[in-house]
Amino acid sequence: MTRYALPLLLLSCGGAFAADAAHTITQSGRMFRPGEVTISRGEALTFTNKDTFIHQIYVNGLFDSEEKSPGENLTESFTQSGTFDVRCHIHPKMKLVVRVK
């Protein structure tokens, strides 16, 4: 391994983590945060349950998750363009608007 390989590897990993962070949705206080997001078709969102109770996330016609306990994550890809409402079966007032371009 050359002396430049490790720094380049670390830089490339850092970029990947930054991109993932931009696509993380937290569930906190019975809300999705942020409440609205725009992504490109084929990209994924990672939902992280930071509440002290379970959530069950769904989008009609796209996906319907199992119950996710506090601290658990769910990653879902959006393969169709359009505007989608992400909801929680357990907390029906929770809503995230996802615009997929």
| DSSP states of 3-20 | TTHHHHHHHHHHHHHHHH
pLDDT digit string (tens) for the chain, length 101 residues: 445 444 444 344 433 333 344 589 999 999 999 999 999 999 999 999 999 999 999 999 999 999 999 999 999 999 999 999 999 999 999 999 999 99
Residue 63: closest CA among 40, 88, 41: 88
Q: CATH code for 23-100? A: 2.60.40.420
Predicted pLDDT of residue 22: 57
Helix (H, G, I), strand (E, B) or coil at 21: helix
Please check whether residue 90 is in contact with residue 56, taking contact to mean a CB–CB distance below 8 angstroms: yes
Predicted pLDDT of residue 17: 30
Q: How far apart are CA 18 and CA 53, in angstroms?
A: 28
